[in-house]
Structure 1
Amino acid sequence: MKSSERFTVALIGASGLLGRAIAGELASARNAKDWRIVHTARSRVDNRSVKLDLLDYDAVRAFLRDFAPDAIVVTAAERRPDICEKDPARARALNVDALRVIAAEARSLGAWVLSISTDYVFDGAAPPYFPDATPAPLNAYGRSKLDGERALLASDPASCVLRLPLLYGPFTDWSESAVTSLTPAIVESANPANPPASMDAWATRYPTFTPDVAVVVRGMLEQHAKGATISGITQWSGDEPMTKFDIAERIARVLKVDAKLVAQHTPTDATPRPRDCHLDSGRLEALGIGRRTPFDIAITGLLANYPNVPDQ
């Protein structure tokens, strides 16, 4: 089903937080008419996407052989650290084994793979982290993503990994991002009858707007389409350091609620998380790829688009 005239991209995980942003960016790109984008989704399937369960490896192989894409962007993964810690076998099946299947099939088809990874491949003890820094993940999620990186690049060194930090963007429910998931507690804390909301003030994060990442991915795909393939490890990150406590204060200001927030200065998560995994984005910046929307502008726009804030 591959078109000989158009550059075909398989976007695996197009219904997720990042996948939707990438799908929208590719559809609106000035060269969109020259591209054919095939979306896949596991549960939130619509008339624009192909239903695909990454744990059905035979189905994954059949899909790729059927559509024979020029490039494959893999955004689908198990990305919840607590879930990965409870079921590391399933996390590896999605984050490592499925990626290995995709990589092997892509190599036989001559397709370039761009896989999304995470800043959690690092332990957060010595930022900033450059692409060649030695990984040292602290939890099952980070280990599975690191092993996925290695499986992909071992299969085809011309493929590419894009490491990203904490993501937020247009959402379908509050829980899609660790940024927007803070909102209900922020609003509820403003009710005099409710206790204050405790917010982590220990770990430094770099919230990164998914529409900005989509611009990065489009730029990387355009490089590949014109024969200037980017391979190996790349990274992109927002450049505003903040804790979840800082994020919560900003959200409260945007919503104009008098939130009662308590800063937690020691880690309380059951699953260990790194303290500061600031990713250096210099490699992509040097290529002129990238965009950063200031956090306050982005979060204001997001919350304005979703006015049904939980009752105070």
Structure 2
Amino acid sequence: MFKVAVIGGSGMLGRALVDELTQQTSWKVVATAFSRPSAQTVALDIRDTGAVERFIEQTAPDAVVIAAAERRPDVCERDPALARALNVDAVRTIAAAADRRGAWTLSISTDYVFDGTHPPYRHDNAPAPLNAYGHSKLEGERALTETTDRGCVLRLPLLYGPIVNWSESAVTSLVPAIAASAAPGGEPATMDAWAIRYPTFTPDVAVVIRQMLERHARGEPITGIVQWSGDEPMTKYEIAVRLAEALQLDAHLMPQHTPADATPRPHNCHLASSRLEELGIGRRTPFDIAIRQVLTAFPWQGARSPA
């Protein structure tokens, strides 16, 4: 029985991953949660070193996937100590405990380790983060690679997928403003049209991770750094336009062509996925198809069903 521990199984990526992995009938999946515990998860605060070590020791997984993190750039900027605790120190603790058990560890990182000036970025390009979030995730990458030889970092860009609330993804967080702009007398919604993002569907990422785990189960583990990304470039303004089309809303959207975020964001951090693609790993669902699946599963009161 191949056993996988998913740390952060209640988050947007964690849920998609658990859904994918539990379809493998010969695998056992143990998921942890902190802010949204349930009967299907084990309660775990990854900042508690002793609790992490006991969980790994008792679970005895063959592989550990770290999907828990502080992913909000503005929060990381305001509270670098929290960002470090979740994105660096916890990664080191989990990787060390997994290494003692002989388990392979996969840690999720971000395209924000790059400054966005010279895309596309290969896995071996030199990182140069612009904000506290990117710095913390880069330190987390180093914490993993310094702690275990059985580790792999998977860098991902902007994620979206099945949600429990609109704010769970920076993609779906645009929906309330889009809807408000379409209401009678609604004010136009200003959307960033400067930064280029590559929205990536969490069920696709879950397939990528499952394929990576299958290689490990065969005794062919992937180590070092790999990257996965959707292949459709779009700004938040362009994402909003496509969301409005999917919701059949006559939204009033205004593009903002200069950076307006308080926390600095990179212009274009397109991640090259070639290392995984060369291994035959990957799946990409077109944005317009995937976002309709998300919106259909989480209907907004007042919006018509996606076309």
TM-score bucket of the superposed structures, by smaller chain: over 0.9
Partner of residue 293 from structure 1, selected from 276, 282, 285: 285
Q: Which residue of 2 aligns with 1:73?
A: 65
The answer as to 2:6 corresponding to 1:11 is yes
Q: Which amino acid aligns with 2:271?
A: L
Question: Offset at 1:27?
Answer: 1.1
Q: Which residue of 1 aligns with 2:31?
A: 39
Partner of residue 270 from structure 2, selected from 274, 278, 283: 278
Question: Offset at 1:163?
Answer: 0.2
Q: Which residue of 2 aligns with 1:107?
A: 99
CA distance in 2, matches of 1:309, 1:214: 29
The answer as to 2:48 corresponding to 1:48 is no
CA distance in 1, matches of 2:269, 2:300: 33
Q: Which amino acid aligns with 1:221?
A: L
CA distance in 2, matches of 1:20, 1:39: 9
Q: Which amino acid aligns with 1:139?
A: N
CA distance in 1, matches of 2:216, 2:110: 22
Give SS of 1:137's match: coil
Give SS of 1:84's match: helix
Q: Which residue of 2 aligns with 1:148?
A: 140
State how 1:1-312 maps to structure 2 within 5 Å. 6-28=1-23, 32-309=24-301
Q: Which moved more, 1:272-281 or 1:300-309?
A: 300-309
Question: Offset at 1:303?
Answer: 1.1
Q: Deviations over 1:215-258 (max 9, x none)?
A: 00000000000001000000000000000000000011111111
Give SS of 2:22's match: helix
Question: Offset at 1:103?
Answer: 1.2
Question: Offset at 1:106?
Answer: 1.3
CA contact (8 A) 1:184 1:309 kept: no
Give SS of 1:33's match: coil
CA distance in 1, matches of 2:302, 2:33: 29
The percentage of counterpart residues that share the same residue type is 64
Question: Offset at 1:307?
Answer: 2.1
Question: Offset at 1:37?
Answer: 0.7
Q: Deviations over 1:16-68 (max 9, x none)?
A: 0000000000112xxx2211111100021111110000111110011111111
Q: Which amino acid aligns with 2:98?
A: A
Q: Which runs of 4+ in 1 moved over 6 A?
A: none
Question: Offset at 1:144?
Answer: 0.4
Q: Deviations over 1:160-206 (max 9, x none)?
A: 00000000000000000000000010011012312100000000000
Distance change >3 Å, CA 307–CA 175, structure 1 → 2: same
CA contact (8 A) 2:247 2:303 kept: no
TM-score normalised by length of structure 1:
0.96
CA contact (8 A) 1:9 1:70 kept: yes
CA contact (8 A) 2:154 2:227 kept: yes
Q: Which residue of 2 aligns with 1:3?
A: none
Question: Offset at 1:127?
Answer: 0.2
CA contact (8 A) 1:129 1:280 kept: yes
CA distance in 1, matches of 2:9, 2:166: 19
Q: Which amino acid aligns with 2:15?
A: R
CA distance in 1, matches of 2:6, 2:240: 32
CA contact (8 A) 2:22 2:28 kept: no
Question: Offset at 1:311?
Answer: 6.7
CA distance in 2, matches of 1:222, 1:13: 20
Q: Which moved more, 1:125-134 or 1:157-166?
A: 157-166
Q: Which amino acid aligns with 2:175?
A: T
Q: Which moved more, 1:288-297 or 1:154-163?
A: 154-163
